[in-house]
Structure 1
Amino acid sequence: MAPHVHVANAACVLEYPDLVGAVAARGRLQKDLDRYVTRQPGRIVYSAHELVSGLRLAYREHESGMITASGSKVDILTALMLRRGRLSSAESDLAARMIRESDNHAADALWWRVGAGYGMGNFYRRMGLRETTPGPSRYWGGTNTSPADRIRLLRLLVQGGAGLSAVHRAHILGLMGRVQADQAWGVSAAARPGDRVALKNGWTPRPFVHNTWAVTSYGRIHGPGRDLLLAVQTDLQPGEGQGIQAVEGLARLIGQRLDKLSPRLTRTCPAVPVIT
């Protein structure tokens, strides 16, 4: 006969998602974000997708009348890699300078190699970026886009699709993850200690638009339990510094509150008779 087994009483707790609390927490965050945006100078639009939880936050994410400035450099590199399959050593050097240092001369050279505006227009159609229009002539920085399209491009770089190989994606995200220190501002403000960041920023004065600035930032913030894609675009900013502050304030607000958007409830396990 098998021996009797006595199980000592132990604290048993069930944990499960607090769906009502999650909806309320998201509503509070969206309200705080809306309040933040309306109190900043100029225009601010953004889109955030957290791939682990599926959470989405946005404000005018389909606004497509704002320029990318240097943000379009990732587009140029992605288009070039699709055309070439494999970059030459000279093209690899130009690509690294264009993304990591935001070198404009490197962008000029590669812009023509992808067919300038005509070639980039074909690229955007292939990628399904319907809210992005290439800049005219040699002006790649005049490319117009929307936060929604920036997120779509990031998703393609992270998850694949539209002909982008794993090698292409790793190369592009790798460069975005190693931008030089003085250009690592922006959506990186959403990162927790230890998170990995891959981003590209854009900034340019606009002397013919009331002497204002356009400042943009988009990228991926990836770490334990989190895979956040975030795009923030601003224009009509009184200065570059104010634009950066506006972007980082919004990114920080999202990054600090994300973990609170999935609250959980606990309950003591029902009593179960001990069989001896």
Structure 2
Amino acid sequence: MVPVAVKAPVKVARCVLKFPDPRAGSAARVRLQRDLARFVSRRPGRVVYSALDLVTGVSLGYGEHEHDMITASGAKVDILAALLARRDGRLGEGERDLASRMIRESDNGAADALWSRVGGGGAMSAFYRRIGLRETTPGPSRFWGGTNTSPADRVRLLKVLVNGGKGLTSADRATVLGLMGRVQKDQAWGVSAAARPGDRVALKNGWTPRPFIHHTWAVTSYGRVVGPGRDLLLSVQTDRQPGEGTGIQTIEGVARMIGARLDSLSPTTTRPCPTNPVA
């Protein structure tokens, strides 16, 4: 008997099509908003947030237009962005060092120097109008940390930094986001809790005691979380907190819940490809 070569069976890939599943997405959104509301209601003080995923267009918010939330050190990104726009990106070596210390180390002395060089509150007001931040007001006099803003405006600022326009070049934006992506490890808390393993985070946090408001704290965090299928812009702001640690726990609780369940808000369903497609 002569052996006959037998060909291995050919594996045929199954053809499937993916479609959005808006009904499942709506149900998941209702559950997430309910759980976020329950979590926030059990936390002390005031808690507001805004989220936007640039990949799917999904957005979430609670109190996102409350514009009397103090930024504290969160305003340092504003200062750098305004200075870059004012100088057409041309900063001296000393100013670049100040910018790095201001964002990465949250150095207040560096912020004082650059706030003065950008032109103080008047120049910042003009910058905010220029880039469309209508819910942000610079701090009085030399007190940049007294800048008030809303979570929605923090997300608008992030969107400008990501997408461009408004007088900021791609190099300017890379400078700001690059520094936000390399903050000191002990300042990398906050919205970074929304990140999955391998995601990249660029953020800026703010925290300050408020002795004249019943000895409470304002604690804020906003930033960008990027990874496969995701480009999340997120801002969580708190005030009237009993301490910095409590504010951080609240921010990370909100961020973690949004990060873990974001994909469920834009689900897809699969169907087999038609066997006799019509041309």
Cα deviation, residue 118, structure 1: 1.1
Q: Which amino acid aligns with 1:81?
A: L
Q: CA RMSD in A?
A: 1.6
CA-CA distance at 1:194 after TM superposition = 0.6
- Judge conservation of contact 2:178–2:202 (CA < 8 Å) in 1: yes
Match of 1:16 among 11, 16, 19: 19
2:31 aligned residue: 28
User: For the residues of structure 2 that align with 1:147 and 1:19, how far apart are their CA atoms?
Assistant: 26
What's the CA shift string for 1:246-270, capped at 9, x where partnerless? 0000000000001222222233455
Q: Please name the residue that 2:74 is paired with.
A: 71
Report percent identity of matched pairs.
72
- TM-score norm. by structure 2 comes to 0.92
Equivalent of residue 200 in structure 1, options 204, 208, 212: 204
Tell me the CA shift for residue 16 of structure 1.
Answer: 1.9
Q: Hey, what does 1:248 align to over in structure 2?
A: 252
Q: Secondary structure at the match of 1:49?
A: strand
Instruction: List 4+ stretches of structure 1 deviating above 6 A.
Output: 7-10
Q: CA deviation at 1:9?
A: 7.9
**How far did 1:14 drift?**
3.8
Measured against aligned partners, the alpha-carbon deviations of 1:129-152 in whole angstroms (never above 9, x if no partner) come to 111000011110000000111011
1:28-107 to structure 2, matched below 5 A, reads: 28-85=31-88, 86-107=90-111
What 5-or-longer segments of structure 2 have no aligned partner? Answer: 1-9
Aligned counterpart, 2:174:
170
- Aligned counterpart, 2:134: 130
DSSP-derived class of the 1:44 partner: strand
Q: Select which of 105, 111, 115 maps to 2:115.
A: 111
- Comparing 8-17 with 242-251, greater Cα deviation is found at 8-17
Report the Cα distance in structure 1 between the residues aligned to 2:116 and 2:15, rounded to whole angstroms. Answer: 65
Change (3 A) 1:211 1:225: same
Q: TM-score, normalised by structure 1?
A: 0.93
Counterpart Cα distance in 2 of 1:122 and 1:218: 22
- How many residue pairs were aligned? 267
**Alignment partner of 1:224 is 2:189:** no
**Cα distance 1:17–1:110, how it changes in 2: closer, same or farther (>3 A)?**
same
